[in-house]
């Protein structure tokens, strides 16, 4: 399947007003790009995407979202929105600043995962959705955890995949290396690069660094070995391809904004610490770890599950690393379908 990123004729839009961020800064006239599947009034499912994802959950999670799948669009009202700070329709650095003819660019305020959740909650308000199952992997899993801690009365089921309670020093270091790759590109121009002339080499390098962390040594060995065409190794061609693809579809300022937001992820901040925050979660919870994930190792998911009183821990045994939750769609569909099926039975009881 060819994935079409960003807004298109299927995209819906919601204006959610001025948003005061966790920092105290204000973003005026925030709009949200989103899509829905199923029938309003059915039990709602909110899908939270990862770093460079968008509202098209049926595409980036094909095999999981759709009729008869784990996120069954025949049985639920499914919502997926692009996050605050991205470049796929929801207000972000590439958008014009309200009342001006200049985009936000590098002046876009620092945001947090909590700010993303605030914008999502306003979207659900606009859609008349009071409660939902919240499902997310990676950065989406961070959002899901924030939902359950910040707005427990609105979360009736929680599925957290390949994410921890905080962003680790390991992840912060990888994010910083990616940001420095972008900022070190001569075309960066302090973030004020012209439209269509973003720092391509730096953004491509950032993506290459990220792709190594999204997979595992085993997956690279099995897929590429030391195959070479006489000039380049196969793994080099693979990384170049993904770097070029991200340059084609993503904005460098948005990449910096979102990776910084991930670094702030800490469900225990100003809540008495991680254990207190996680113990406050009352929604039935499924936490999924991936055996080969070197970015968010399974000990992080085990910690989350151990501290949430209502949590079940499931480990996905897969060689593909962090991205296994996007690759092993049959297994993920089964895990999510089982968890959401329990929610349906509770509602019917």
Provide the CATH topology of domain 12-166+267-348: Rossmann fold (3.40.50)
Contacts of 347 (CB under 8 A, 6+ apart): 43, 156
| Residue 214 reports pLDDT greater than 50 | yes
Of 123, 121, 112, nearest in space to 154 by CA = 121
Give yes or no: 157 in active site.
no
Of 232, 192, 185, 230, nearest in space to 207 by CA = 185
| Active-site residue, from 322, 323, 331, 333 | 322
| Residue 250 reports pLDDT greater than 60 | yes
pLDDT band at 4 (very low <50, low <70, confident <90, very high): low
Question: Residue 1's pLDDT is what?
Answer: 38
pLDDT band at 158 (very low <50, low <70, confident <90, very high): very high
Question: Residue 99's pLDDT is what?
Answer: 85
Task: For the chain, give the mean pLDDT.
Answer: 96
| Residue 327 reports pLDDT greater than 90 | yes
- d(Cα 107, Cα 336) in Å, to the nearest integer? 39
Question: Residue 345's pLDDT is what?
Answer: 84
| Active-site residue, from 138, 157, 219, 331 | 138
Mean pLDDT of 70-90: 97
- In our burial notation (b when 16+ CB lie closer than 10 A, e otherwise), range 80-95 reads bbbbbbbbbbbbbbbb
Mean pLDDT of 15-22: 98
| Residue 185 reports pLDDT greater than 70 | yes
Give yes or no: 54 in active site.
no
CATH of 171-262, one of 3.40.50.510, 1.10.1740.110, 1.20.1440.230, 3.40.630.30: 1.10.1740.110
Tell whether pTM > 0.85: yes
Question: Residue 110's pLDDT is what?
Answer: 98
Give yes or no: 227 in active site.
no
Q: Give the three-state DSSP class for 268.
A: coil
| Residue 347 reports pLDDT greater than 60 | yes
Residues 199/179, Cβ–Cβ less than 8 Å: no
| Active-site residue, from 293, 320, 323, 333 | 293
Mean pLDDT of 115-141: 98
Mean pLDDT of 182-203: 96
The domains of the chain are located at 12-166+267-348, 171-262
């Amino acid at each position: 399947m060819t994935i079409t990123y960003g807004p298109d004729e299927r995209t819906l839009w919601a204006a959610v007003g001025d948003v005061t961020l966790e920092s105290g800064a204000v973003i005026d006239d925030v709009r949200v790009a989103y899509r829905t599947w199923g029938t309003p009034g059915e039990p709602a499912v909110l899908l939270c995407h990862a770093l460079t994802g968008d509202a098209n959950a049926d595409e980036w999670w094909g095999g999981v979202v759709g009729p008869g799948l784990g996120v069954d669009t025949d049985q639920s009202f499914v919502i997926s929105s692009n996050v605050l700070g991205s470049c796929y329709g929801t207000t972000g650095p590439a958008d014009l600043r309200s009342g001006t003819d200049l985009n936000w660019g590098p002046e876009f305020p620092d945001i947090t995962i909590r700010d993303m959740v605030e914008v999502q909650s306003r979207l659900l308000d606009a859609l008349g959705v009071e409660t939902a199952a919240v499902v997310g992997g990676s950065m989406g899993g961070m959002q899901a955890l924030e939902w359950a801690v910040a707005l427990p009365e609105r979360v009736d089921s929680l599925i957290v995949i390949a994410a921890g309670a905080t962003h680790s020093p390991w992840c912060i270091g990888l994010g910083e290396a990616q940001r420095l790759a972008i900022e070190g590109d001569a075309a960066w121009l302090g973030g004020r690069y012209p439209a269509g002339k973003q720092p391509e080499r730096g953004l491509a390098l950032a993506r290459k660094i990220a792709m190594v962390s999204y997979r595992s040594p085993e997956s690279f060995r099995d897929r590429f070995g030391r195959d070479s065409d006489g000039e380049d190794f196969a793994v080099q061609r693979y990384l170049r391809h993904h770097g070029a693809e991200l340059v084609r579809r993503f904005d460098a300022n948005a990449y910096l904004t979102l990776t910084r937001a991930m670094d702030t992820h800490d469900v225990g901040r100003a809540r008495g610490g991680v254990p207190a925050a996680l113990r406050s979660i009352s929604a039935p919870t499924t936490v999924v770890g991936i055996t080969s994930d070197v970015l968010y190792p399974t000990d992080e998911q085990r910690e989350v599950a151990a501290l949430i009183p209502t949590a079940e821990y499931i480990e996905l045994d897969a060689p593909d690393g962090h991205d296994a939750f996007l690759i092993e769609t049959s297994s993920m569909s089964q895990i999510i379908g089982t968890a959401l099926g329990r929610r349906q039975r509770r509602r019917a009881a």
